[in-house]
Amino acid sequence: MGAYPNNADGSRFDASSPRSWNYEATIKKVEEITARIEAGELELAEVFDEFAAAVDYLRQCETFLMQRQQQVDLLIETLTDESDF
């Protein structure tokens, strides 16, 4: 995944600098969208728009988790290298 997904406001998402972005809040948005779709509260066109928004939110979460995994891997590598001394 080379490019970061867009935020809801159209700005580019960058999980390495999440000023107001929050993983838990984003997951909650996905859950709310899912609940509205499952409840049948939306018109068909709205279902597609909301589904697309949910996919974007999930991509943001995936990017965040991948970046954090890379940080953890680097820390583990650093600890392993230090223990070789």
pLDDT tens profile 4-56: 445 544 545 555 555 789 999 999 999 999 999 999 999 999 999 999 999 99
Q: What is the DSSP letter of 61?
A: H
Question: Which one has a higher pLDDT value, 84 or 33?
Answer: 33
Q: Alpha-carbon distance 82 to 33, whole Å?
A: 46
Q: What is the DSSP letter of 15?
A: T
Q: What is the DSSP letter of 13?
A: P
Helices and strands counted in the chain (H then E):
2, 0
pTM flag (> 0.95): no
pLDDT value, residue 50:
97
* Beta carbons of 13 and 66 less than 8 angstroms apart: no
pLDDT value, residue 12:
52
pLDDT, average across residues 63-79: 94
